[in-house]
Structure 1
Amino acid sequence: MRWFGFGFNAFGQICVREKLSEEEGDGGAEEVKVFQPTELSGHEERGDRCVKTSVIRACWSRRASLNVDGDGCVRLAGSGQPSAVCREESRGCKDALVSESYLSLAFPDRIECWDLRKEEESPSWSMEIKPPSETSGTAHSTNTEPPLNLPLVPGGYISLKPPFYHSLSPHLKARSLALGAEHAILLSAAGVVYTWGLGSHGQLGHGVLTSEEEPRAVEALWGMPMRFVATGGWHSVCISDGGDLYVWGWNESGQLGLPSRGLSKAKLQQSSQQAEALNQDTSTSPVEEPQEGEKNEEVFISIQAFPALLDVTPSCEIKVVSCGSRHTAAVTTAGELYTWGWGEYGQLGHQNSVSSDEPQRVEYFREQQERVVDVVCGAWNTFAAVINKEVACS
C-alpha cells in the first residue's frame, strides 16, 4: 500500500520543499500548493525489507505516519522540519493522533501526550489503561475493532488539547469517534450516531444551531444503522450499513456536496470576466446574464442542520470518508476517490485550485491504474492510500 498527498504543503507535510522546487520550478506557489498527487516518502528500511506507512494522521501544519508492523513508529513531517522525523519514544505504539501542539500515542498499556513545542524527555501527560478483556463496561467492551482507536480509549476519549482525557457514559458503547474544530461525533456499537459541542453551523445534525454539552443521538438517522463517521471543521458525515453517505453542517465552500451560493457567485464572476475578455478581443456582442427571476429559481444551502443523503455516484457504495476543514473526500467500494468542497490549495486532487459543490472523481489514480483503499484529510490537504489494480484483483 502506497500513500499519496496533495494540497497545502507550506510546512512540507507532503514533500520536502527543496525537492518540490527542483521538480516544479523555484517559486512560493509551487512550494505551498501540491496540485498533482505525490507519493509520500519516509518508508523505513528494516533489515532486508521495507516497512511502509499504514496509518496517516494529519492536522493543519503536520502529518504523522505510523508503521504498525512490529515495533510501530511514528514519523512526523511538516511544521518546518526538513524531513520526516522518527519519534523514538513512539516505538511500540498502536495508534497516534496529531494536532498543532501535541502528539498523542496509544500503547497497549498506556496513553501518552507529547508537547511538540518543547524538547521533552517525558510526555506532558500520560494515563495507564487496561486491556478491554480486563475492563468492564467501557467504551470498547463490546467493540470488535482493535482496542486502541484514537481518539477513543477505554472509558472515554482523548481531546486535541488539555485537558486530554474526557469520560464517556458506558451505555454509549462507542465504536469510533471523530473530533471537529469545536464538536464531536460518536458512532455506537449499534450504529447510532451521537454528536455534541458547538452547533452554530448545524454540524450537530439536530435541526437547530444550538450547542450540546452532552452526547445527543441524531434523531433524523434513527432506524438507519451507520458504520462510519467523520467530521471536518464545521461539518459532519456518516456512512450507512448500505454504503449511503449522509452530510450536514456548514456548506460555505460546497463541502457538503450541496449547492453553494459562494461557489455559484465565484463561477458567475469568472464567467463574466472571461466573457468580457472575449468581447474585448473579438468585439462581439456581450454575453447575456441570467435574469433576476432565473437567479431566484436556484436553491442554495449555506447550512444544512439535518442529515441529508448525498448521491456521490449512482453505481457504487461508499467505503470510507474523511473531512478537511472545508472539503470532503470519499472512497467507493470500487476503489475510486471522489472529492468536493474548497480546492484553493489543490486538496481536491483535480490538479487545479478550483472548488466544487459537486462530488468529482479524482482521475489521476484511475489513469495510473491504482485502486484507492483509504483516504485521510488534513485541514487543507488530502492523503490517499492506493494499491495496484492488478494486485487488488489477484
Structure 2
Amino acid sequence: MRWFGFGFNAFGQIFVHETLTKGDRSEPVEEVKVSSPTEISSRVDRGDGCSQTDAQIRASWSRRASLHVDGDSRVCLAGFEAAILNDSCGMPMKESRGCRDVFLSESYLTLAFADRIEIWDLQKKERTPSWSVEIKTHSEGSGPPLNLPLVPGGYIATQPPLRRSLSPHLRAKSLALSAGHAILLSASGAVYTWGLGSHGQLGHGGLTSEEEPRAVEALWGMPMSCVAAGGWHSVCVSDGGDLYVWGWNESGQLGLPSRGLRNASQQQKSQQAGAPCQDASTPPTEDPQEGEKHEEVFITIQAFPALMDITPACEVRTVSCGSHHTAAVTTTGDLYTWGWGDYGQLGHQAFISSDEPQRVEFFREQQMCVVDVVCGAWNTFAAVVKEEMAKEIL
C-alpha cells in the first residue's frame, strides 16, 4: 500500500526538498501548495538495516503522524518541528515502539499501546509523556478493540481536559472529533453528536450547542458504518453506502450548491472571456413567465442530514473531512473530493474550489485504486494499491 498527499505543505507535512543553498549549507524550502497527488516516502529507516512501511496516517493542520507496523511498530512525525520530535537521522520516536494506534491533534500526540495510553504535549521538548494511564489488555468476548480517540470508558479530546468520559450505554464503535464538535457512531449504527452547533454541524435541525451526546433523529433506523467531522460540517456513510452531509456549506464542503463559489466561478469565467459588465444602456433580459421561473437554491447551512449522490454507479466505502473540504472513497476504488481547494487539497492539479464532487483522475490514470483517505485541515492523504490488488482489499 502506498500513500499520496496533496494540499497544504508549508511545514513539509507531505514532502520536504532542499533547493536553497546558503554558504556551505542547504536549507529545506517547502512547496506550500501541492495540487497534484505526490507520493509520500513509504519507508523509514529503523536503524538496524531494515525499514518499515506506513499502515496508518493521521494529520493535523501542521503535522502528519505515520504509524509503521512492520516488525516493532513505531510512529514518525512530519511537519512542524518534526526534526526535534523524531529521533536523530529521521528515525521514528523510539518511545513509540510497540504502538498500536495513534491520534494527532495540533497540540497533542496520543499513542495507544496494549497496556497503556500516553499523551505527548507537542509544545514541550521533554521526552516523557504529559499524561498516561494503564489499561486492561483486551480479551476476547469483551467487544471489539477500541480505536483512538476512543479509550476505555471515554475518549481523548483535542484540548484539556484531555480524557473525557462517555456513558457506557452508548457502546461506542468509532468517534470523530473536530475542534468544536464530536460525532459518535454506536455499535448499533446510530449517530450521536455534541459540542458546538452554530453552523448546523450537529444535525439536529437548529444552531444550538449540545453539552451531552444527542442522537441524530433524522438518521434513526438507518445504520451507519462511518462518521467524519470537519471544521463546521459532518458526514456519515450508511451500511448501504449512502452518504449523508450536514453543517456549513460556505465553501461547498457539503457538495451542495454554494452561492459564494458559484458567484466566484461566474466572475472568473467572465474575466477570462473578457465579457463586458452590464451597464444602464444594456437592455435587461426579459423576465420569464411566472410558471417558467427556475431559481437555483443555494445552501449555506444544512442543519439536517441531507442525502448526497456522488455517483449513481457506485457506493461510498469511507469518508474523511478537512476544515472546509471533504473526500470520499467509493467501492470501486475511486476518490472524490469537493469543497475548498485553494491549497490543492482536492487533488485536481489546480487550486480551485468546487461544490460538486469530482473524481481525482490522477489515480485512475495511474491504474491505482484508492482504499483509504485521511484529511488534514488543509490537505488530503490517500492510500492506494495497484488495480490488480484491489479485489483483495475492496
Question: TM-score, normalised on structure 1?
Answer: 0.89
After superposition, give the CA deviation of every residue in 1:71-115 in whole Å (9 maximum; x if it has no partner): 211100001446965111111111111122111111111111111
| Residue identity opposite 1:31 in structure 2 | E
Which amino acid is 2:44 matched to?
E
The answer to whether 1:94 aligns with 2:100 is yes
Moved over 3 A (4+): 45-50, 80-85, 286-296
On the 8 A contact 1:2/1:39 being kept in 2, the answer is yes
Contact kept? 1:95, 1:148, Cα under 8 Å: no
Aligned residue in 1 for 2:236 = 238
CA contact (8 A) 1:77 1:84 kept: no
Which structure's residues are more often helix, by fraction?
1
| 1:175 corresponds to | 173
- SS of equivalent to 1:233: coil
Question: In the alignment, residue 40 of structure 1 is paired with which amino acid?
Answer: I
Corresponding residue number in structure 1 for 2:59: 58
* Number of positions where the alignment pairs a residue of Structure 1 with one of Structure 2: 374
- Give the aligned residue type for 1:104: T
What is the aligned partner in structure 2 of residue 164 from structure 1?
A: 162
Tell me if structure 2 keeps the 8 A contact 1:12–1:80: no
Who is 1:13 aligned against? 13
CA distance in 2, matches of 1:197, 1:291: 49
Unaligned runs of 5+ residues in structure 2 are 22-27, 84-88
- In structure 2, the CA distance between the partners of 1:274 and 1:118, relative to structure 1 (3 Å rule), is same
Distance 1:45 1:233, change over 3 A: same
- Greater shift, 72-81 or 252-261, is seen at 72-81
Q: Counterpart of 1:73?
A: 74
2:117 maps to amino acid: I
2: CA distance between counterparts of 1:184 and 1:291? 49
Pair 1:252 & 2:250 matched: yes
Deviations 1:274-327 (A, max 9, x none): 233x669xxxxx999978889981100000000000101111110010000000
- From 379, 382, 392, the equivalent of 2:380 is 382
Asked if structure 2 preserves the Cα contact closer than 8 Å seen for 1:20 and 1:31, the reply is no
1:334 is matched with which residue? 332
Q: Determine if contact 1:4/1:383 at 8 Å carries over to the other structure.
A: yes
Give the equivalent residue in structure 1 for 2:309.
311
C-alpha spacing 1:42/1:335, structure 2 compared with 1 (3 Å)? closer
Deviation of residue 48 (structure 1)?
7.2
2:284, 2:68 → 1: CA distance?
55
Matched, 1:371 2:337: no
* 1:111-132, Cα deviation, whole Å (9 max, x unpaired): 1111111111311111111134
1:352-389 superposed Cα distances (whole Å, 9 cap, x missing partner): 01100000000000000001000000000000000011
Partner of 1:24: none
Question: Relative to structure 2, which stretch is displaced further, 241-250 or 157-166?
Answer: 157-166
Aligned residue number for residue 2 of structure 1: 2
CA distance in 2, matches of 1:351, 1:185: 31
**Letter aligned with residue 70 of structure 2:** D
Query: 2: CA distance between counterparts of 1:29 and 1:350?
Result: 23
The aligned amino acid for 2:129 is P
Q: Indicate if the aligned counterparts of 1:157 and 1:168 stay in contact, CA closer than 8 A.
A: yes
Equivalent position amino acid for 1:239 in 2: V
Query: Residue 214 of structure 1: SS of its match in structure 2?
Result: strand
Distance 2:2 2:191 in 1: 32
Distance 2:287 2:139 in 1: 65
Q: Which amino acid aligns with 2:380?
A: T
> How far apart are the structure 2 equivalents of 1:289 and 1:152?
59
Q: Measure, in 1, the Cα distance between the counterparts of 2:273 and 2:63.
A: 41
1:31-73 Cα offsets, whole Å, 9 max, x none, are 1001111000151246676421000000000000001233211
What is the identity, as a one-letter code, of the residue corresponding to 2:184?
L
Q: Normalising by structure 2, report the TM-score.
A: 0.89
Q: 1:85 to 1:247 in 2, by over 3 A?
A: farther
Match of 1:25 in 2: none
The question of whether the paired residues in 1 share the 8 Å contact of 2:333 and 2:390 is answered with: no
Counterpart CA distance in 2 for 1:218 and 1:392 is 34
User: Could you give the per-residue CA deviations for residues 122-171 of structure 1, whole angstroms, max 9, x where no partner exists?
Assistant: 1111111113439x9xxxx43x3xx2410001110001122110010000
Residues 48 and 249 of structure 1: is their aligned pair in 2 closer, same or farther, counting only changes over 3 Å?
same
CA distance in 2, matches of 1:172, 1:162: 22
Show structure 1 runs of 5+ residues with no match.
Answer: 22-27, 281-285
- Offset at residue 18 of structure 1 (A): 2.4
Amino acid at match of 1:351: Q
Whole-angstrom distance in 2 between the partners of 1:201 and 1:193: 18
- Please say if residues 146 and 173 of structure 2, whose CA atoms lie closer than 8 Å, have aligned partners that are also in contact: no
* SS of corresponding position for 2:18: helix
How do 1:133-148 and structure 2 match up within 5 A? 133=139, 141-142=142-143, 144=144, 147-148=145-146
Contact 1:254 1:358 in 2 (8 A): yes
Conserved 8 A contact 1:187-1:229: yes
Does the 8 Å CA contact 1:158/1:164 hold for their aligned counterparts? yes
| Greater mean alpha carbon deviation, residues 72-81 or residues 59-68 | 72-81
**What value does the CA root-mean-square deviation take over the aligned residues?**
2.7
- CA–CA distance in 2 between the matches of 1:182 and 1:211? 10
Aligned to 1:130: 136
Amino acid at match of 1:53: D
